[in-house]
Amino acid sequence: MVDSTLITDSTNTIETDTGVAEATVKPHLVLALDYGVKKMGMALGNTITETARAFDILAMNNGQPDWDNLLGIIKVWGVSKVVVGLPLNMDGSSSMLSKRAHKFARRLAHRVMEQHLPVVVSLCDERLTSVAAREIAWDNGWIKNERDPIDDISACILMSTYFADPNSSIAIDAIKAD
């Protein structure tokens, strides 16, 4: 018997020298998307540090991204989860934009499935992320004008919401289509 030897297998369990199997958490890269009709903010985060960083702002064509570019980002970075912001009204009801974000998330889930990518797409409430992002960006001098883009910062806040409570997001395959 070897002291303190850990053996990892493909099921993410480890067996200690006592023979007791323990589950381990495999680190994942998460992509948060602040959906918009004209542009979409992106943030990358990981499940080890549970931190996010602004990544990019993608141009959107009437709510549609350059799908090849978006799927390429997911592939190249090895993203395993995409959290799409759901812009609900303050009372929790759906808005026209939240319906479009939901439709976008369904399309994204379908496209990653077609590409055989092991990616879970989920929706997460993003109320007030843009307000908070603008305030943070202004206070830190990241923007000089109130019209400067903050969508990637909003995506970081969305990611923080997800990391604070992963159960706050719902996998798109668990939601009925509108």
Domain ranges of the chain: 26-174
Split at pLDDT 50, 70, 90, the class of 146 is confident
Instruction: State how far the Cα of 105 lies from the Cα of 102, in Å rounded to an integer.
Output: 5
Give the closest residue to 156 by CA, choosing from 63, 51, 39.
51
- pLDDT, the chain, mean: 81
The HSE-up count of residue 126 (CA atoms within 13 Å, CB side) is 32
**59-77 confidence digits (pLDDT tens):** 999 999 999 999 999 999 9
Please choose, from the candidates 124, 131, 109, 130, the residue with its C-alpha nearest in 3D space to the C-alpha of residue 159.
124
Give residue-wise pLDDT tens across range 2-39: 333 222 333 344 444 555 544 555 668 999 999 999 99
Q: What share of the chain has pLDDT > 70, as a percent?
A: 81
* Phi and psi angles of residue 18, each rounded to the nearest 5 degrees, phi first: -90, -5
Global pTM value: 0.78
The CATH superfamily holding the domain 26-174 is YqgF/RNase H-like domain (3.30.420.140)
Q: Two tokens at 170?
A: 């719902």
